[in-house]
Amino acid sequence: MCGRTACTLAPDEVSRACTYRNRGGQRRQPRWRDGDAEKYRPSYNKSPQSMNPVLLSQRHFDKSAPVDECVLTSMRWGLIPAWFKENDPSKMQYSTSNCRSENILEKKSYKDPMLKGQRCVILADGFYEWQRKEQGKQPFFIYFPQSPVPEPEKRDPTISSKENLVCPPGEASSVLTKRMEDTGEWTGWRLLTMAGLFDCWTPPGGGEPLYTYSVITVNASPNLESIHNRMPAILDGQEEVRRWLDFGEVKSLDALKLLQSKDILTFHPVSSLVNNTRNNSPQCLQPVDLNSKKEPKPTASSKLMVSWLTSRAPSKRKELNTYEGKEEQKGNAKTKRKSAGGLQQWLQGADKKPRTK
């Protein structure tokens, strides 16, 4: 399942982080749908009912737009079917935050959007999952492995600048950051891309349409099944994202084939602070030592997320509200420790503040 996520990038950074290529291979940076950037609020601890960044085809809003043109929008987590008859979406009798891939064509709430091509990609730094233990539940943060860019003096001169910029920076210099902005190449945190379905509900008595979504889940991959038996359906790379969103070229049955369990994510244990949705601080993501419950020492390779944030001007950051509210061991231990360190450096010393503009 997937019941809690984190997404801490500012709206403009989300746009740059999900740059894509259309059918013709042309590079595109999706724009935010009018007014939706303001509806999205970065957070370390996002739960169902919150507004989150979602990528989808512009054709859903503009019938004259190319079907492979993407747009960013803010949608409420927890799908409200278009046919829902109540005036208040909170009166839904069952949870639709997740949708099992096996049942998509069996349940009307998901079958209708799927057959209409209402496919979307939910964006997040990563998601949280809880492992059942005798003494309670242990939360973990799960995300794409992050690879640091070599220091300028260590980069291979035979490799093109473009290739040097495809990974997030280990310790980004101002020159690298400026080049990122000039070229459009994203060198920050690689956002998790989760397959989802969305629908548009309008109150029976009239009112503003509400766009909502559900995260599609599959059986957990081998390295995650010790934590939980389900995981979000991950779209790995621009081509899978393009195919999932391109409902004109890729029909529903072919799109379903993309929903596979992929052994490509890494993870680390975090504090139980994340258990309470009122807690919204860097400590939610901070790696912990399960034996001592103390912050583990950083490793040589664990220098990613904090270096990304410290490379940005503090003036561009803005403190989040501490409470977003409803509006808003089978695993490979070595890999876990390696990637967790990158997150640790991100959080240490930077007094991390998610950027909101």
pLDDT 10s digits, 293-325: 555 554 333 346 545 444 543 333 344 443 344
Residues 29-54 have pLDDT tens digits of: 999 999 999 999 999 999 999 999 99
Q: Return the pLDDT at 291.
A: 81
Residues 252-302 have pLDDT tens digits of: 999 999 999 999 999 999 999 999 999 999 999 989 988 875 555 543 333
pLDDT at 327 exceeding the cut of 50: no
50: β partners: none
pLDDT at 117 exceeding the cut of 50: yes
231: β partners: 218
Residues 73-110 have pLDDT tens digits of: 999 999 999 999 888 888 888 899 999 999 999 999 99
Please state, in angstroms and rounded to a whole number, the distance separating the CA atoms of residues 212 and 120.
10
Task: Give the count of alpha carbons within 13 A of 41, CB side only.
Answer: 20
Report all structural domains of the chain as residue ranges with CATH numbers, in order of start.
Answer: 5-146+189-347 (3.90.1680.10)
pTM: 0.78
- The 3 state secondary structure assigned to 107-159 is CHHHHHHHHCCCEEEEEECEEEEEEEECCEEEEEEEECCCCCECCHHHCCCCC
What would the DSSP string read from start to end of 268-296?
A: EEB-GGGGSTT--SGGGT-B--TTT-SPP
Q: Return the pLDDT at 312.
A: 44
Please state, in angstroms and rounded to a whole number, the distance separating the CA atoms of residues 268 and 255.
31
Please state, in angstroms and rounded to a whole number, the distance separating the CA atoms of residues 240 and 223.
22
pLDDT at 58 exceeding the cut of 80: yes
Nearest to 354 by CA among 10, 73, 50: 10
Give 4's contacts (C-beta < 8 A, 6+ positions apart).
Answer: 45, 46, 47, 127, 128, 274, 277
How many contiguous H segments (helices) and E segments (strands) does the chain have?
A: 8, 15
Tokens of 154: 């260590």
Quick one: CA dihedral 246, 96, 90, 121, positive or negative? negative
Please state, in angstroms and rounded to a whole number, the distance separating the CA atoms of residues 262 and 223.
10
Active site positions, annotated = 2, 129
Please state, in angstroms and rounded to a whole number, the distance separating the CA atoms of residues 237 and 262.
12
Task: Give the count of alpha carbons within 13 A of 91, CB side only.
Answer: 6
Residues 213-247 have pLDDT tens digits of: 999 999 999 999 999 999 999 999 999 999 999 99
On the 0-12 / 13-18 / 19+ scale of CB atoms within 10 A, 285 is: buried
pLDDT at 163 exceeding the cut of 50: no
DSSP label at residue 89: G
Q: Return the pLDDT at 314.
A: 33
pLDDT confidence bin for 334, thresholds 50/70/90: very low
Mean pLDDT of 117-122: 98
Kindly state the helix (H) or strand (E) to which residue 211 belongs, with its residue range.
strand 210-219
Q: Which residue has the higher pLDDT, 312 or 56?
A: 56
Q: Which residue has the higher pLDDT, 185 or 354?
A: 185
Q: Return the pLDDT at 103.
A: 92
pLDDT confidence bin for 161, thresholds 50/70/90: very low
Amino acid at 296: P
Please state, in angstroms and rounded to a whole number, the distance separating the CA atoms of residues 59 and 121.
15
Residues 182-203 have pLDDT tens digits of: 555 788 899 999 999 999 999 9
Contacts of 198-202 with CB under 8 Å at 24 or more apart are 198/54, 198/56, 198/75, 198/79, 198/113, 198/118, 198/119, 198/120, 199/79, 199/80, 199/81, 199/82, 199/109, 199/112, 199/113, 199/118, 200/82, 201/80, 201/81, 201/82, 201/84, 201/89, 202/82
pLDDT confidence bin for 346, thresholds 50/70/90: very low
